[in-house]
Chains A and B, each alone.
Chain A
Amino acid sequence: MNFYKRCNFIFVFAFQVVLLVSCVSDVDLDRIDEIILTPEIEADLVFFTLNTANFDAVNESSMQISVRDTTRLEFLDDAIIQEYLQELELMYSVENTFNRTLINRSLFLDNAGVIQYEVIFPIAASQDGEVVTTSFQAVLSQEDIQGIRNAIQLVNEVTLFTNGLPYDGVLSFQSKAIYSLQIADL
């Protein structure tokens, strides 16, 4: 074997060795099926401000006055809620200067108007016109979340217990939700 043939052999052999030892190992491409996205989305829900005039406008019993508003929440019918929602927290913060106790009810209704999930919490009264902040948090169970999935409307109702006495003040209501999603089968 002359010099050139030896060189030729060496390099071709070296290349073959490289190609032979080349491999893909210690990986499992089937794991792509195990990919799960788990984003947690924090988003505002509803907010409003009520003052004395809002309650004055309601022709109800003088002992307690309720104001309510209803809206459809079309996003509850989206795949995000219907398929991917795993956990849900609702958080409320209410600043109140009314010198009376109030109660907030957030009702999630289905298309037929049947209550699927309900959040009720009292709003602390102000003693001397100072702003009193009430915070409330609801961590929903799986059963509650199923109720949310069935719902499409939200009724928010605030009841002011006047006890027949004069009332005056402002109520600022804030709410948000944390949606914990689990998105698989990408």
Chain B
Amino acid sequence: MMPTIGYYALVLALVVALLQGVLPLVGLPKNNGKLFAFATPMARIQSLLVILSFIILDYAFYANDFTVYYVATTSNSNLPLIFRLAAIWGGHEGSMLFWVAILAVWTLAVTFFAKELPLRFRSSLLAVMGLISVGFIMFILFTSNPFERIFPAPFDGRDLNPLLQDPGMVFHPPLLYMGYVGFSVAFAFAIAALLDGRLDVTWARWTRPWTTAAWVFLTLGIALGSRWAYYELGWGGWWFWDAVENASFMPWLIGTALIHSLAVTEKRNAFKAWTVLLSICAFSLSLLGTFLVRSGVLTSVHAFATDPSRGLFILLFLVIVIGGALTLFALRAPSVGLGEKFDLVSRESLLLSNNVVLFAATGAVLLGTLYPLLIDAMNMGKISVGPPYFDTVFVAIMVPGIFLMGVGPIANWKKASVPDMAGKLKWALGVSVISALLVPSMMGRLSPMIFVGLLMAFWVMSSVLTSMKIRLDAMPSATLKQKLNTFGRAYNGMLLAHFGLAIFIVGVTMVKGYEREHDITMQSGETKVINGYDFKFEGILPIKGPNYVAKQGQFYVSKEGKQVALLTPEKRLYPVQGAIMTEASISINPVRDIYISLGEELEEGGWSIRVYFKPFVQWIWLGCVFMGLGGILTITDKRYRIKNSA
């Protein structure tokens, strides 16, 4: 009964979404306030219906209702509750419903937090989001219905892929989708502005917090996915330039460009058409990602079960949404004004150069991801494009951008001078170069990659400090406390986010430059010395989990007599799918991870084991967290507070 209600809630949501999408837009030409007034109530009703549908599907997982085909293929009664509930987004159909549910959450947020927007603009905004909802709900109802039934119900479910039975599965997709889908708000802002024919500083001020919020979620979602892969997959890798990873990274890159472009637009009422184009691109890349993951066009570890007919539907949807948006852009953008003046050398132009770099970097990722398809489609053969390409080209493009990142914050708005900035930054440059040589000499090895990476990281850090010092020096008569109070959240957020990127770069550089891998075999009772640490293998313990059995290795790790950690890597068998999983065990530390995973049990007794030393690897994700916190700080700056007074 319940699944049927869930299905019809979705059907009803489609009808309401159509009203939400069409009525306000129909009212635009004659400025019909009555039609505009439909937007908010329809949006709320539609969102609640979608969320209801989602909850009903998740209830089917909770109750082990195997008459629902989707539940039978992705769940199992022995699966721990939290994974049963998270399994809803473990397969294609459920994750599409999740997509629409997250869109519903953002829609509701807009109806509650965007009250200061004029009625006409707000209802156009909600109308655009409604139309996106229409497309996705139709896709679900016609090609990917999660409420399909199976009678008689199987005795038990096929279980969730053991790789997904992890806390990462609980948090990574929600964060990621909040980000992906959240760019639909920025997109809707852009479309509403083009429809309105009005694009100004106020528009930029409205758009910024919503865009930054989506960006924060995406940053944290990608970081969590990376960290999950690191400890789950058994060989300590954290980024593979896989097609689906790239599909989430490209919106992030353009989203970052967009945040910086909005700063220029808000300050100078300038480059508005460009900012609007970036808003369209960010969400278009989200949609493109949805297409790539589900159409079977590219091979990927993450790809859902593929089906060309679904691919065709999504492609058609892309053509309508993105094609429509870009057509509107072509028609309306030429009439958008130029805005105010600023110099060739100024903070504004440096922010725009950030855009150029990020755009080229996104181009690199897009080219690399799609090139195999391009070559194949033109019958020019079959190639693979993997980390050797991306690590080279992407990093090479980003290096000048990161250098400019150090200059931007200390540049004056409107008019900056190169000799002036050079003078301010000489200390930062000197410190960076020396540190980038000092650290490798302490670690015992220097390479060009390590030097450039550390140079970039220290450069950003020292320019953040330089920027703070300049600001503090500008108020000689105030106390330190008073001075810090003037900084404001937006500025602090920027500093923290930039600092976070520097931390990220340190993590990546140190791990890539200094990580070590040891393949060894050990017998029970044996001790081996690796990299200055003593590893004592105390044998294997058989253990039982809720839906698996495992052999758990016991490794006592000590250094100079003091115990550092007890590491317990496992080989698990999940009986339902018959899958064997390798669970690594990691000793985490601010300056290094010790990572151990079991290989195979050997015929002559003993085990093959892999031990990794990964210096500063946690800084990779710590840096991302700082970036996210920085974003949150900027959103809460007082200039974005909803004004309660008239």
B is a partner of A = no
A residues near B (Cβ < 8 Å) are none
B residues near A (Cβ < 8 Å) are none
